[in-house]
């Protein structure tokens, strides 16, 4: 029985030792794949910037041109959207300011009408009250009228 247990223990130790290199191989393979992907993306990015174009044939250059045009169209659309949003925002702001201006004009006209009405009533009161009393003091004006 002890021999059986000892063989089982040795076998599991050996299988552990054999499994480790396979894990390392898998990690090395993933590292290689990821490294190649990074290099490809870096090269593609440089080509989009207009660098490292010497090794490309005509078909690759045409594909690259189409990519660049697509990206440029996207940038132009985004820029135009922002302009339209800004224009709409400014138009709404203009509308609110125009409304506020109209309200302020109405208030100013009402205030002028009230002031003119007070002046007219003061003049008529002075005319009717001509027996010598001081209208300016009665209305609390700081100076005589």
Is the full-model pTM beyond 0.75?
no
Burial class (CB in 10 A: 0-12, 13-18, 19+), 86: exposed
- pLDDT in the model for residue 70: 93
Report d(CA 19, CA 35) in Å as an integer.
24
**pLDDT per residue rounded down to tens, the chain (145 residues):** 788 788 877 776 666 555 555 556 666 778 888 889 999 999 989 988 888 888 889 999 999 999 999 999 999 999 999 999 999 999 999 999 999 999 999 999 888 877 666 666 666 666 555 554 444 445 555 555 5
């Amino acid at each position: 029985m002890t021999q059986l247990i000892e063989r089982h223990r040795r076998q599991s130790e050996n299988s552990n030792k054999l499994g480790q290199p396979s894990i390392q191989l898998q990690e090395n393979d993933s590292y290689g794949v990821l490294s190649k992907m990074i290099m490809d993306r870096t090269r593609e990015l440089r080509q989009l910037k207009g660098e490292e174009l010497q090794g490309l044939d005509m078909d690759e250059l045409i594909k690259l041109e189409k990519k660049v045009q697509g990206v440029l169209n996207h940038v132009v659309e985004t820029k135009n959207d922002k302009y339209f949003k800004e224009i709409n925002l400014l138009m709404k702001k203009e509308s609110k300011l125009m409304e506020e201006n109209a309200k302020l004009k109405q208030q100013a006209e009402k205030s002028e009408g009230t002031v003119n009405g007070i002046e007219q009533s003061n003049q008529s009161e002075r005319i009717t009250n001509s027996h010598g009393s001081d209208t300016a003091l009665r209305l609390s004006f700081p100076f005589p009228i």
